[in-house]
Amino acid sequence: MQDFRQEFIAYAVARNVLRFGEFKTKAGRLSPYFFNAGLFNDGEALAKLSQFYAQALVASGLQCDVLFGPAYKGIPLVASIALVLAQQGKNYPYAYNRKEAKDHGEGGVLVGAPLAGRVLIVDDVISAGTSVRESVELIRQAGATPAGVLIALDRMERGQGELSAVQEVTRDYGIPVVAVATLDDLMAYLGDHADLAAHADAVARYRSNYGVAR
C-alpha cells in the first residue's frame, strides 16, 4: 500500500473531513463513517489535498492532456491540482464549466483551456454519477475524449444494483476511475489504530452488507 493513501486518510481524520459515528446516506443507509471533502476549506488544506490528488494521478500512470473540473466542487480542485502538478514540472491546461451558459462576452458554458485530446475529469467523490455523465457529454461535444475520473475517496459500496457508482462509470463510459484512497485503505488505517477498533468493526459490518469487490 502506498504511503500517501494512508497519509491522506490520516489527514482527513485530523481535519474532521472523515468522521465516524452514524450517518444517513442518500441511499437511506446508516453509514458508520462520513466523508465531506467540502471541509478541506482553507488554503493549507486545499494545497495538501491537491498534493494527494497529484500523487494519485502520477502513481496511476494515467495519461491525459487536459484537466477538467465540473462545477462546483471540481472548480477549485482542478485549479489547485494543476498548480501542484506545474510545480512538479507537469504543466497541464485546465478547464471547468458553468452551471448556466453565459450569453455575453465569450459566451458558452466552458471556461479555461479548450477541451482537446484526452481529458481527465477531477471531482471529490462519485455518488449518483450525474456530474461524470454531464462532464463526459461536454467533453465529447467539444470533440475530445474522456480519459478517466480522478476522485478523493471510493466508498466501494453498491449503488442501485450490484455495482458501485465507480464501477458503473467504468462500465458505462469505458474509462478508469482513480481514487486517492478507497474503503480498503480506510479499513487498513483503522486496523492500525487500536483506539479506533470499535469503528473498524462497524465499517467492516457495513462493508459486509453493502460493499463490492474491486
- Catalytic residue list: 102, 104
60-99 b/e (C-beta count within 10 Å ≥ 16 → b)? eebebbbbbbbbebbbbbbbbbbebbeeeeeebbbbbbee
For residue 55 the three cell numbers come to 500523487
CA torsion sign, 12 to 15 to 20 to 21? negative
Of 134, 148, 62, whose CA–CA distance to 96 is shortest? 134
| Beta-strand pair 30-35/18-24 | antiparallel
Q: Which helix (H) or strand (E) holds 32?
A: strand 30-35
Residues forming a β-bridge with 66: 119
